[in-house]
Structure 1
Amino acid sequence: MTRLNGKTAVITGGATGIGLAAATRFIEEGAFVFIFGRRQEALDTAVAELGPNARAVKGSVSNEADLDRLYAAVKAERGTLDIVFANAGVGSPLKLGEITAEHIDETFDVNVKGTIFTVQKALPLMGMGGSIILTGSSAGATGAPGFTAYSASKAAVRNLARTWAEDLKGTGIRVNVLSPGATATELAKEALGEEGQKAFAVMTPLQRMADPSEIGAVAAFLASSDSSFMTASEVAVDGGLAQI
């Protein structure tokens, strides 16, 4: 498939997990991809795997200067930008009664403020036919015990797409949310262990966790003209977790 032939994409959190799976799929479909993340070693490994149509920029979405460097690199090499996959995110559990200001700040700095500035700073490079994809979560719709800040931040991301679809009227740029459920990334496997993975699997009608490539495939659909009449939408790729 070459649905993304000649397109330029930015993927934040692109060195591992869902971001790397999306980068792989985008490149397979003809895109040139810039991945952005905080760990240089992971970025280097990812670019070596992705091949000549990938570049890496180190930085954090919660740091505006780092995002400026990212988009300067895109402009210098490619001139324009077609796709932004705002995928970087963090989340850790703290039950009600234990939540700290620092915990809230960390979660919202990356998941909400980072998403806002990832998109806002990309807009001068984007035009007609552009696609913005925001990573939501099933937790944004259902809530998740112990994940007050994370669930609230992902609910906020869902509303960003609704608001921005209005703000982007007339530009030809679409914005949609991709909301995964439990996904078997390397980080998730390490954090959950075998028993934890089984527990998450049985929560879904499909009785398993997603493979990151399954999320990447839907990201490619939202990035392509196949989804040309979609904006302000949420696509749940969660095995039915938040749907029943």
Structure 2
Amino acid sequence: MGRLTDKVAIITGGARGMGATHARLFINEGAKVIIADILEQEGQALAKELGENATFFKLDVTKATNWEEVISATEKTFGPVNILVNNAGITMSKSIEETSEEEYRRIIDINQVSVFLGIKAVIPSMKKANSGSIVNISSINGLVGGAVGYTDSKFAVRGLTKAAALGLSHYGIRVNSVHPGVIETPMIKQEDSKDAIEEFAKYIPVKRVAKPEEVSNMVLYLASDESSYSTGSEFVVDGGITAH
């Protein structure tokens, strides 16, 4: 308890899934959390569940003006931003031959351009706070190949993390990336995918998929002052998949 006491955090894609898990853990550790998402109903319900230290703001992560509005509203509600978790993202598993230009640009906008916009928008607020931690959620597909579009964007997030870390260190702003493997979510528990996931888990060195909290614990560490000497680095939570 208390690892993020009085820190102000924005979590994108925070209304459900991994983002909601991050938000719950942050609240438990004393943070004031902005749940930023396009999913209004789910985001508002989660904020209500989490109590007075959580607020929902609607955010389209691909819109620079929307980012500015959300950060301004955050400052008015809780104060300058200490933590930004760029968690919002989408997946796509089409082949390069099947992927349209429109589909490709959409995944790049949501997974990659949004991270640039978020970092750029939050800098003035973090400068007011005299420090900050930005945690960019990439993937193991930011380290090894996978689906076209998704892999490209996640490699870009890894590169942007390093460039931003070098450019912002003199402000006391740290930037790191997290690279999850297969995570136990409601989606992979569905009957049509459950057997395939169980089979794949046999090839993971630790012989299981990750609990959502295991990724959130890494995000918490990077958001907290415990990781004060870590910046520009990738932190892998994959059960050893990329060790092969």
TM-score (norm 1): 0.94
Q: Residue by residue, what CA displacement relative to the aligned partner does 1:196-229 show, whole Å, maximum 9, x if unpaired?
A: 3213322311111111111111111000111000
Which residue is equivalent to 1:124? 124
**Superposition deviation, residue 59 in structure 1:** 2.3
The one-letter code of the counterpart of 2:38 is R
The one-letter code of the counterpart of 1:94 is K
Q: Residue by residue, what CA displacement relative to the aligned partner does 1:32-91 show, whole Å, maximum 9, x if unpaired?
A: 000111111211221122222100011210122321221121111122110000010011
Alpha-carbon distance in structure 2 between the residues aligned to 1:196 and 1:48: 36
Which residue is equivalent to 2:135? 133
Q: Secondary structure at 2:171's aligned position in 1?
A: coil
* Kept after mapping to 2: 8 A contact 1:15/1:46: yes
1:150-189 correspondence to structure 2 within 5 Å: 150-189=150-189
Which residue is equivalent to 1:78? 78
Alpha-carbon distance in structure 2 between the residues aligned to 1:221 and 1:26: 10
* Kept after mapping to 2: 8 A contact 1:104/1:149: yes
1:1-40 correspondence to structure 2 within 5 Å: 1-40=1-40
* Kept after mapping to 2: 8 A contact 1:182/1:200: no
Specify whether residues 70 and 167 from structure 1 end up closer, same or farther in structure 2 by C-alpha distance, changes over 3 A only: same
Unaligned runs of 5+ in 2: none
Q: Residue by residue, what CA displacement relative to the aligned partner does 1:15-47 show, whole Å, maximum 9, x if unpaired?
A: 111111111111111100001111112112211
Q: Residue by residue, what CA displacement relative to the aligned partner does 1:83-140 show, whole Å, maximum 9, x if unpaired?
A: 0000100111111322210111111000111111011111110033310000010011
* Kept after mapping to 2: 8 A contact 1:11/1:34: yes
Alpha-carbon distance in structure 2 between the residues aligned to 1:191 and 1:231: 40
> Structure 1 residues 106-115 or 67-76, which shifts more?
67-76
* Kept after mapping to 2: 8 A contact 1:138/1:236: yes
**Superposition deviation, residue 181 in structure 1:** 0.6
Which residue is equivalent to 1:49? 49
Between 1 and 2, higher relative CO (CA 8 Å, sep ≥ 6) is seen in: 1
Q: Secondary structure at 1:122's aligned position in 2?
A: helix
> Structure 1 residues 52-61 or 224-233, which shifts more?
52-61
Q: Which runs of 4+ in 1 moved over 3 A?
A: 187-192
**Superposition deviation, residue 190 in structure 1:** 4.2
The one-letter code of the counterpart of 1:130 is G
1:97-112 correspondence to structure 2 within 5 Å: 97-112=97-112
Q: Secondary structure at 2:10's aligned position in 1?
A: strand
Which residue is equivalent to 1:208? 208
**Superposition deviation, residue 192 in structure 1:** 5.9
Tell me the percent identity: 34
Alpha-carbon distance in structure 2 between the residues aligned to 1:199 and 1:96: 26
The one-letter code of the counterpart of 1:103 is E
TM-score (norm 2): 0.94
Q: Secondary structure at 2:110's aligned position in 1?
A: helix
The one-letter code of the counterpart of 1:71 is I
Alpha-carbon distance in structure 1 between the residues aligned to 2:57 and 2:191: 26
The one-letter code of the counterpart of 1:107 is I
Specify whether residues 202 and 236 from structure 1 end up closer, same or farther in structure 2 by C-alpha distance, changes over 3 A only: same
* Kept after mapping to 2: 8 A contact 1:35/1:56: yes
Unaligned runs of 5+ in 1: none
The one-letter code of the counterpart of 2:17 is G
> Structure 1 residues 76-85 or 228-237, which shifts more?
76-85
* Kept after mapping to 1: 8 A contact 2:188/2:194: no
**Superposition deviation, residue 168 in structure 1:** 0.7
Which residue is equivalent to 1:88? 88
Specify whether residues 51 and 188 from structure 1 end up closer, same or farther in structure 2 by C-alpha distance, changes over 3 A only: farther
